[in-house]
């Protein structure tokens, strides 16, 4: 008997939580309509699932494509060959050319309704994003970020942070959230989700002067995320991650938020910002810091960028230091160094 099949997007609707050791997950069962207990056990390594209540069993869709216990994270080329089940409205073309399923419809034909209380994203169009980012649409951004913050607990996003050795308490303090498949707030003009991703996205706030929330950044989870969808920002103005750090006299500057979190994890009390790419620097925001430590990536592009930025900062009277590749211990960036245990800051 072949058993049933679930896509990752269908699984995300079942409110999975991590079980023992992180390998097995427990979720509500869509086959007998369970919404009282998580009777569905999912082995994240093999992709096999089994319900202890109705005895149904089967495999996640990627496990059908890659038998033998390979997960999408480790299967080479899975993004091109696997049907990730991105949730879209019927009739909407996928910008990535990937297959998709309708929300709430399982592969077996059973229609499942999420249990009451599951946070849903408020509707948001691309045009409203642009309008709000320039005219103080903060209540909407705040509402969305709060939903993502709640969704982080027990999610794939939480697992991703733990894999990267970023303390959950630190992530929560800086308002990191999680958008499951189908819940990322980036919408087209008709209100349909775009730039969605199979494993969802970690959500990071953009902030500006007075720590004002101005945008949201979503990082697609999984090593197999194509570069074209890996990083996404809502339309509108961009800010920094952790803008309050600019109030300190010594400031560490990173390209990405996970590098900034890594520096703060390695040295509690350190002030670090992420500028979302080397072109995101704003001199008018760097008033209070007297010393700036550049912790950009150690690749060729990062090295070239920090030289240019260091020169500009020095001309503006700042004392500039460069976090040398030796501080990363051979890693390409701060987060990789934190994972390897080779990050040295002092």
Over residues 223-249, the mean pLDDT reads 90
- Of 112 and 17, the structure prediction assigns the larger pLDDT to 17
Q: Report DSSP state, residue 329.
A: T
Lowest mean pLDDT, pick from 63-72, 118-127, 144-153, 204-213: 118-127
Q: What is the pLDDT of residue 29?
A: 87
Q: What is the pLDDT of residue 17?
A: 83
pLDDT at 133 over 60: no
The HSE-up count of residue 281 (CA atoms within 13 Å, CB side) is: 19
Q: What is the pLDDT of residue 318?
A: 95
Q: In sequence order, which residues have a C-beta less than 8 Å from that of residue 300 and are 6 or more positions away?
A: none
280-339 pLDDT, tens digit each: 899 999 999 999 999 877 666 667 777 888 999 999 999 999 887 778 888 888 898 899
Computed over every residue of the chain, the mean pLDDT equals: 76
Instruction: Give CB contacts under 8 A, 24+ apart, made by 66-70.
Output: 69/45
Walk me through the domains of the chain, giving residue ranges and CATH numbers: 4-101 (no CATH), 126-233 (3.90.980.10), 244-340 (3.40.1360.10)
pLDDT at 32 over 90: no
Q: At what angle do helices 138-151 and 126-135 cross, to 10 degrees?
A: 110
pLDDT bin (cut points 50, 70, 90) of residue 38 is confident
Phi (first) and psi of residue 227, to 5 degrees = -60, -30
172-211 pLDDT, tens digit each: 999 999 999 889 999 887 777 788 888 899 999 999 999 9
Over residues 272-285, the mean pLDDT reads 91
Count the neighbouring beta carbons within 10 Å of the beta carbon of residue 97: 7
Task: Provide, rounded to the nearest whole percent, the portion of the chain with pLDDT above 90.
Answer: 37
Q: What is the pLDDT of residue 136?
A: 39
Q: CB-based burial of residue 180 (10 Å sphere; 0-12 exposed, 13-18 middle, 19+ buried)?
A: buried
Top-ranked range on mean pLDDT: pick from 37-46, 124-133, 232-241: 232-241
78-92 pLDDT, tens digit each: 222 233 333 333 333
Q: What is the pLDDT of residue 126?
A: 37
Cα angle 20-21-24, degrees, rounded to a multiple of 5: 60
5-26 pLDDT, tens digit each: 888 777 877 888 876 556 788 8
Q: Which residue in this structure is represented by tokens 């982080």?
A: 152
Q: What is the pLDDT of residue 288?
A: 96
pLDDT bin (cut points 50, 70, 90) of residue 2 is low
pLDDT bin (cut points 50, 70, 90) of residue 64 is confident
What whole-number distance in Å separates Cα of residue 21 and Cα of residue 18? 8
- Of 333 and 120, the structure prediction assigns the larger pLDDT to 333
Q: What is the pLDDT of residue 58?
A: 87
For residues 116 and 96, is the Cβ–Cβ distance under 8 A?
A: no
Q: What is the pLDDT of residue 137?
A: 38
Q: Which residue in this structure is represented by tokens 């819940």?
A: 183
What whole-number distance in Å separates Cα of residue 207 and Cα of residue 192? 26
- Of 131 and 301, the structure prediction assigns the larger pLDDT to 301
Q: What is the pLDDT of residue 85?
A: 32
């Amino acid at each position: 008997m072949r058993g049933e099949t679930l896509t990752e997007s269908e699984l995300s609707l079942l409110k999975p939580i991590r079980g023992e050791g992180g390998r097995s997950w427990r979720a509500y069962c869509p086959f007998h309509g369970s919404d009282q207990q998580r009777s569905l056990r999912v082995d994240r390594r093999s992709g096999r699932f089994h319900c202890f209540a109705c005895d149904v069993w089967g495999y996640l869709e990627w496990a059908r494509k890659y038998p033998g216990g390979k997960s999408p994270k480790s299967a080479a080329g899975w993004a091109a060959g696997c049907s990730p089940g991105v949730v879209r409205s019927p009739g909407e073309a996928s910008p990535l050319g990937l297959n998709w399923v309708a929300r709430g419809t399982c592969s077996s034909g059973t229609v499942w309704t999420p249990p009451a209380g599951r946070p849903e994203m408020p509707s948001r169009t691309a045009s409203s994003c642009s309008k709000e980012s320039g005219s103080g649409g903060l209540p909407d951004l705040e509402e969305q970020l709060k939903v993502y913050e709640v969704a982080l607990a027990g999610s794939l996003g939480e697992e991703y942070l733990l894999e990267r050795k970023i303390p959950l308490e630190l992530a929560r303090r800086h308002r990191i959230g999680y958008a499951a498949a189908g819940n990322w707030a980036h919408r087209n003009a008709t209100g349909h989700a775009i730039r969605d991703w199979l494993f969802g996205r970690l959500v990071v706030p953009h902030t500006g002067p007075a720590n004002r929330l101005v945008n949201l950044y979503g990082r697609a989870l999984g090593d197999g995320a194509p570069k074209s969808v890996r990083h996404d920002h809502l339309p509108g103005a961009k800010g920094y991650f952790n803008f309050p750090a600019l109030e300190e006299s010594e400031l560490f500057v990173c390209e990405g938020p996970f590098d900034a979190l890594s520096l703060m994890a390695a040295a509690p009390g350190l002030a670090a910002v992420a500028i979302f790419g080397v072109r995101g620097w704003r001199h008018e925001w760097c008033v209070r810091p007297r010393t700036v430590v550049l912790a950009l990536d150690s690749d060729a592009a990062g090295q070239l960028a920090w030289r240019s930025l260091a020169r500009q900062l020095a001309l503006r009277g700042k004392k500039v230091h460069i976090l040398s590749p030796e501080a990363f211990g051979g890693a390409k960036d701060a987060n990789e160094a934190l994972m390897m245990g080779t990050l040295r800051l002092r």
